[in-house]
Amino acid sequence: MQTLHQLGHNQKWGLDSYFQNTIGDGFIFGAYNLPASKIGSKISGYKWEDLIEISLLDLQFYASKKSDGGKLSTYRFHPINLNQVQETIVDGITCVEAGVNLQLSSGFQKIIIPSFYQTTNKSEKNINLLKSINKLVQKIKKSHQNKEFYMTLCVSKDGIVDSSYIEKLLTETTDINMCFDGYYIVIESPKEYKHKIPTDIRVLVNTKKIFETLNKQGFKTIWGYANWDALLFTSLTDIQYITIGTYENLRCFCLERFLEDQAGGPSKGWYYSEKLLNFVKAQDIEILRMFNCLDIIKNEKNIFTDIILNSSFIWNTHKPEVHKNYLLAIDRGLKSINQKPLHERKDCFLRQINNAKNIYKILTEKYRVLLSDESSDYHLNYWVNLLNLSE
Amino acid sequence: MPPIIDIPPQIKRHYSVTIVHKTYDTGQKYSFIVDCKHGSCVLKILKYSLGERENREISFYKQNENMAGIPKILDVRQFGSDWVVLEECIQGNNLGEIKQNYYGIQKIIIALAQRIIEVMSPFWYSGIVHRDLKPENIMISPNGSVSIIDFGIYKNPDNSTITATDFQPHTFFYAAPEQVIPNKADISYRTDFFSIGIIVFELLYQRHPFGAVKDEILAAYAAHKTIDFSSCYLNVFLDLCLQCDVSQRARSPQLLLNALA
């Protein structure tokens, strides 16, 4: 398993953390933030030759026409450039083909085949599109046998809770005729209020089923916009590539983020604790400091933790160290689980969850510190439920 | 024409029928195994016009006449108001007649399953689904070669299918969940995989893997029951075939053959 930086607005942080701190194994550039003219050029001071071998490009066709588009319009073939009249003439396949050809001509080794946001009420249309793209890629692959082709599967929030839709999707994507090397999976998971990751058991079960089934059927998988709950799924099945991201919009796919400015406003930031298996609000860090219990939640051997948990650090979500703490911790966490044989991972992760629950208990009972909302252990019991549901 | 108990003379003359070995009356048609000018053949007399199913079956055999393992159509002709279909007679017995000879004998069950998959593979790769695989539709010749018959309700790649009244498989026992809890859209080559899995399991253990009676089997299918085959012979093969969810079955016939090797 390898981790790939899901790059967004502040690409430099991801690039720096790889080249300077050896965090991660590569990058996924998003067309929303990378103008077409930059392909082939230096990016944030790093040479293209050093990037191309370990990078992929997500052309983000799933971004809605209604979005402000970012840099998407700089890709002349991008569907966002088509007006209503043109849309009826130029079908999606033409745009997809152009997107694939751009990546091939630019030297990418792993090609992300762009595709569209898929809602459950258009499943027949989605399947026909998948089959058409499959035929296109079958032809292209004949002259690019050394490249790998990953088909985008964008699962909407109404799709991920619908098990019959997921079963239908998986039946089609694993059909004998599918020629892809793997799938680039982007899941829009609905979340409860004041929760950062999904706890709906249907979402957890269906997410597990997607990765498990594709893996079982011989396809590689890239999980885009993955959040730290990727730890849970890595303990249950093999996933070849998992993205790690800084800001929340890179760890949590949400169509609305492409429709409106959801910068999130001023925030002091969040501290990711490996021991709690959770993000803790910056304000809660100060509470923990006052109660002298920071040490029981801090990440060990993490230079960024050392910086941001120092009492002199002024918290701000726009400081790179805040995010690099997470990048380092999650990269380590995923690889630590993954290096174990599959049959051992579930118990290993169950122990980590129980340790985390124990620490929350110590905070409450011994130190009388209550962490609430997103900082609380709202998610851990759901994770245990999923692990117990799995054979 | 009056009720037929023998081949009408004009048909006998036309095909130079010399010997009639067997007669079958399925209620829809009479079938005779005969020696005639074309050799040993099956002569079918339909007591009514060629229906959609018969037309599909005939056109299927004609389109695939060079494929191994399926009967060849030699002639189709109308006599009065009746239609006659003359097809190659596959020597041997259908598996339904001799399946007790296979019960529990793992080596010949494996060989049989391999032959069935090898015959069907070219059809699956071209998008054709049999949809009614069962022992009665598997012919076994004295030399062990396998032929598949009765493609009457097959599904073809352009998704055209026959009328709703005819699309159900004739035998519930060997049908896949997506056929008995009808969802035509899910019917694919992996539907046939399930039927082959049932056939193999029955030959190994003389029972249905999902239950003893129809209601029990239906309930298991509706609940997407997963069976643990780890203690069974050919457990990997059975696991690849007998999943209620289509997405969990083997992706390709080659994987099934690997599991049988």
Taking the Cβ of residue A135 and every Cβ of chain B, the question of whether any pair is shorter than 8 Å is answered with: no
- Name B232's Cβ contacts closer than 8 Å, sequence gap at least 6: B201, B204, B205, B238
Residue of B nearest to A167 (CA): B247
Point out the residue among B124, B186, B251 whose CB comes nearest to the CB of A217: B251
Other C-beta atoms closer than 10 Å to the C-beta of A82 total: 17
Instruction: Give chain A positions within 8 Å (CB) of B123.
Output: none
Pairing of strands B73-79, B39-46: unpaired
Residues A174, B247: C-beta atoms closer than 8 Å: yes
Mean pLDDT, range B42-59, rounded to an integer:
77
Residue B144 confidence (pLDDT) above 90: no
Taking a C-beta distance cutoff of 8 angstroms, is the pair A228, A197 a contact? yes
Instruction: Give chain B positions within 8 Å (CB) of A213.
Output: 247-248
Point out the residue among A171, A176, A218 whose CB comes nearest to the CB of B247: A171
User: How far is the C-alpha of A30 from the C-alpha of A6, rounded, in Å?
Assistant: 8
Taking the Cβ of residue B121 and every Cβ of chain A, the question of whether any pair is shorter than 8 Å is answered with: no
- Name A145's Cβ contacts closer than 8 Å, sequence gap at least 6: none
Instruction: Give chain A positions within 8 Å (CB) of B186.
Output: 168, 171
User: How far is the C-alpha of B100 from the C-alpha of B227, rounded, in Å?
Assistant: 25
pLDDT of residue A389: 93
Instruction: Give chain A positions within 8 Å (CB) of B248.
Output: 213, 216
Point out the residue among B124, B189, B247 whose CB comes nearest to the CB of A170: B247
What pLDDT band is residue B164 in, cutting at 50, 70 and 90?
very low
Taking the Cβ of residue B183 and every Cβ of chain A, the question of whether any pair is shorter than 8 Å is answered with: no
Residue of A nearest to B185 (CA): A168
- Chain position carrying tokens 């007790």: B100
Taking the Cβ of residue B188 and every Cβ of chain A, the question of whether any pair is shorter than 8 Å is answered with: yes
pLDDT of residue B167: 45
User: How far is the C-alpha of B53 from the C-alpha of B56, rounded, in Å?
Assistant: 5
pLDDT of residue A391: 67
Mean pLDDT, range B178-186, rounded to an integer:
80
A76's tokens: 């002349």
pLDDT of residue B90: 86
Taking a C-beta distance cutoff of 8 angstroms, is the pair B73, B46 a contact? no
CA distance B163 to chain A (A): 21
Q: Show me where the domains of chain A are located.
A: 2-258, 270-389
Taking a C-beta distance cutoff of 8 angstroms, is the pair A379, A197 a contact? yes
pLDDT of residue A114: 95
Taking the Cβ of residue A175 and every Cβ of chain B, the question of whether any pair is shorter than 8 Å is answered with: yes
Residue of B nearest to A164 (CA): B245
Task: Output the average pLDDT for chain B.
Answer: 87
pLDDT of residue B51: 75
Residue B102 confidence (pLDDT) above 70: yes
Beta bridge partners of B146: B140
User: How far is the C-alpha of B7 from the C-alpha of B2, rounded, in Å?
Assistant: 11
CA distance B246 to chain A (A): 6
What DSSP state is assigned to residue B207?
Answer: S
* Predicted model pTM: 0.91
Is the CATH number of domain A2-258 1.10.1200?
no
- The tens-digit pLDDT sequence of chain A (391 residues) is 999 999 998 899 999 999 999 999 999 999 999 999 999 999 999 999 999 999 999 999 988 666 667 899 899 999 888 776 666 556 788 999 999 999 999 999 999 999 988 788 777 888 888 999 999 999 999 999 999 999 999 999 999 999 999 999 999 999 999 999 999 999 999 999 999 999 999 999 999 999 999 999 999 999 999 999 999 999 999 999 999 999 999 999 988 776 555 555 567 899 999 999 999 999 999 999 999 999 999 999 999 999 999 999 999 999 999 999 999 999 999 999 999 999 999 999 999 999 999 999 999 999 999 999 999 999 999 999 999 999 6
Residues A175, B252: C-beta atoms closer than 8 Å: no
pLDDT of residue B166: 43
**A220 vs B61, residue with greater confidence:** A220
Mean pLDDT, range B194-217, rounded to an integer:
96
pLDDT of residue B71: 85
Q: What percent of chain B has pLDDT over 90?
A: 55
Residue of A nearest to B251 (CA): A176
B113's tokens: 């399953």
pLDDT of residue A84: 64
Taking the Cβ of residue B186 and every Cβ of chain A, the question of whether any pair is shorter than 8 Å is answered with: yes
Q: What percent of chain B has pLDDT over 70?
A: 89
Taking the Cβ of residue A216 and every Cβ of chain B, the question of whether any pair is shorter than 8 Å is answered with: yes
pLDDT of residue A167: 95
